[in-house]
Amino acid sequence: MKDSVISKFSARELDAELFTPFTISSGSHRSLENVLFTLGTAGGEKGCGEAAIATHITGETRARTVKSLLRAGELLTGRDAADYLGAMCLLEEELDGNRAALAAAQMALLDLAARLQGVSLWKLYGGVTARLKTDITVVIGGAAAAYDFTLKMRRRGFRIFKVKTGSDMDEDFRRLEAVGKAAPGCAVYLDANCAYGAREAERFIRELARRGIRPEVLEQPVPKDDIEGLAYLSRRLPMPVCADESAYSLDDVFNLIRKRTVTAVNIKLTKLGFLRAREVWALARASGIKLMMGEMLESELASAAAAGFAGGLGGMDFIDLDTPFFIKDSGMRGASFLSKNGVYFLDRVKAGIGVAPGARK
């Protein structure tokens, strides 16, 4: 058997505690509850992928994702990892109904293929931008907690704060004022995770401007099917309006761009998988709309894979790959190329994603 033929696989739960619950307007993560997928070749090389489970956003469950990944493992066993593109296409057909599993299986294949070639995933994707600096998320909660968190992260070197809004408007104003006080002069992104009506979102942004707060991007202000609302806000507001929940497939993005509904799109591997994510990237670049690289709640493994993808292709306007900073110990090793102030030094990755699970605790 050739050394690069896939001969084994495993799917297991990946659990970790968080420093603070990751709360957004549509729900909350109290811990990391993802799935780790591993492929191994006859020659002893390994590739790993991570499925991010965000049931309150995607409806996908961990039990179903484990099942899908076991099926993916069976489909991939006996295939040559050198033909990773063919295998990724097969997975896209087979796992389309469970995108978290699709992303994890494709991630493991790419990690494996890059390691077999002795290059990083970042290089495999073009090696365009060597360094990416992420924002840091200020989750939904009280103003005092937001102030303390923002101050701590600004002192650590973060300069862009992505503030989650949309639970209670008065509380949102207080939280945003606290962020501005703790990090004067720093950039602010907003993400409402579908919470507003279009006119309500417009009022919210006007009131923020009155208070001297001018966000650089407004992400998913309205429910995912409110395409009219997105278009209305894109026409009326000065900052880019970015689709996230509304951009769950290539079709979604094609329609958003064709109808000039939004001026930015958030790419997440968990929504699209690697092949379609690349097509969304090309479509957005050709259409002149802005791009955010985002993620669900993901450990260093999936975050570094997203960074390798984004930096490899280049041309991303907003980087939102900060969830490793919310996780106490995911058990991942090798992520020293991600600095404490949120910079991914992608040219330091030697092979594959650059991150792999350490010895099991």
List of residues contacting Mg ion (CB under 5 A) = 191, 219, 244
Judged by beta carbon, residue 100 or residue 109, the one nearer Mg ion is 100
Shortest approach of Mg ion to residue 281 CB, angstroms?
Answer: 17
Judged by beta carbon, residue 244 or residue 252, the one nearer Mg ion is 244
Shortest approach of Mg ion to residue 220 CB, angstroms?
Answer: 5
As a three-state string, the secondary structure of the chain is CCCCEEEEEEEEEEEEEEEEEEEECCEEEEEEEEEEEEEEECCCCEEEEEECCCHHHHCCCHHHHHHHHHHHHHHHCCCEHHHHHHHHHHHHHHCCCCHHHHHHHHHHHHHHHHHHHCCEHHHHCCCCCCEEECCEEECCCCHHHHHHHHHHHHHHCCCEEEEECCCCHHHHHHHHHHHHHHCCCCEEEEECCCCCCHHHHHHHHHHHHHCCCCCCEEECCCCCCCHHHHHHHHHHCCCCEEECCCCCCHHHHHHHHHCCCCCEEEECHHHHHHHHHHHHHHHHHHHCCEEEECCCCCCHHHHHHHHHHHHHHCCCCEECCCHHHHECCCCEECHHHECCCCEEEHHHCCCECCCEECCCC
Shortest approach of Mg ion to residue 190 CB, angstroms?
Answer: 10
Judged by beta carbon, residue 242 or residue 283, the one nearer Mg ion is 242
Position with the least CB separation from Mg ion: 244
Shortest approach of Mg ion to residue 264 CB, angstroms?
Answer: 11
Judged by beta carbon, residue 57 or residue 116, the one nearer Mg ion is 57
Judged by beta carbon, residue 92 or residue 244, the one nearer Mg ion is 244
Shortest approach of Mg ion to residue 307 CB, angstroms?
Answer: 17
Shortest approach of Mg ion to residue 320 CB, angstroms?
Answer: 7
Judged by beta carbon, residue 45 or residue 191, the one nearer Mg ion is 191
